Amino acid sequence: MSDVANCPTCGGKSKIKNKNNEITYIAIQDDDLLKKVGQLKNAMQKFKEKAETLEKELAELKAK
């Protein structure tokens, strides 16, 4: 996943690329932004499911 930040010139969301210590900002279109938010939601859901599974395992181990 690429880095996202506010552009210092326009204030909009942009991707950051760092080549030869020169930072360039590339504007993110709404479609790209929605796709990135969707990716983050999916990642958070997977993390939540894994955490719940581990909590159940821990509870079972403590019960023994």
Instruction: Kindly report whether the global pTM for this prediction surpasses the value 0.85.
Output: no
Give the structural domain span for 34. Answer: 3-63
Residue-wise pLDDT tens digits, 12-47: 888 888 888 888 888 877 777 778 888 999 999 999
3-state SS assignment for residue 2: coil
Instruction: Give the tokens for residue 61.
Output: 């181990």
Q: How many domains does the chain have?
A: 1
Pair 44, 35: CB distance under 8 Å: no
Residues 62, 22: Cα–Cα separation, whole Å:
53
The shares of helix, strand and coil residues in the chain, as percent rounded to the nearest 5, are 55, 25, 20
